[in-house]
Amino acid sequence: MPTRLNPYLNFRGNAREAMEFYQTVFGGELLLNTFAEFGASEDPAEKDQIMHGQLESPTGLTLMGADTPASMNLNVGDNISVSLSGEDEAELTEYWNKLADGAQNTMGLNTAPWGDTFGMLTDKFGINWLVNISSASA
């Protein structure tokens, strides 16, 4: 799988509704995973919210989105990130290291509940980045 660069939208409790809407706009296959599915729900009221949504359109567009837990900041207008994902660990780690120069690390590259290596940071220009390195066994 080649490395992909795509938008990642953040919502507050309505990611399922939003991603289902975008599916009506762009078509394609929609995958939705809840916080409970990954054992990542700290607040029982948020367990059925979307931890990760991914829409793959027939034309090759990829749109990702998730609910932001109440424990994390979310400002409308700043609710988009850029996601880098793929299997090439060396390539993605190099991107991560370069993006991290002068950045504020939100979450370092570590094993995520879904088995991949994942990290989040805000670069020195205020852009939020998500890096996901797919594991062969995940």
Q: Tell me whether residue 138 is in a domain.
A: no
> Which residue carries 């749109």 as its tokens?
63
Query: Do 116 and 33 contact (CB within 8 A), yes or no?
Result: no
Q: Tell me whether residue 108 is in a domain.
A: yes
Q: Tell me whether residue 14 is in a domain.
A: yes
- DSSP codes joined into one string, 98-128: HHTTT-EEEEEEEE-TTSSEEEEEE-TTS-E
Query: Do 117 and 110 contact (CB within 8 A), yes or no?
Result: yes
Q: What is the DSSP letter of 44?
A: G
Q: Looking at residue 102, which CATH number applies to its domain?
A: 3.10.180.10
Q: Which residue has the higher pLDDT, 45 or 79?
A: 45
Q: What is the DSSP letter of 3?
A: -
| Listed residue (33, 40, 4) closest to 19, CA to CA | 33
Amino acid at 84: L
pLDDT tens per residue, range 65-105: 999 999 888 887 778 889 999 999 999 999 999 999 899 87
Mean pLDDT for the stretch of residues 12-24 = 94
pLDDT of residue 53: 97
pLDDT of residue 138: 45
The DSSP H or E segment spanning 75 is none
pLDDT of residue 29: 98
How many structural domains are present in the chain? 1
Give me 107's structure tokens.
């979450």
Task: Determine what percent of the chain is predicted with pLDDT higher than 90.
Answer: 64
pLDDT of residue 106: 79
Q: Which residue has the higher pLDDT, 1 or 117?
A: 117
Domain that holds residue 32: 4-133
- pLDDT band with cut points at 50, 70 and 90 for residue 137: low
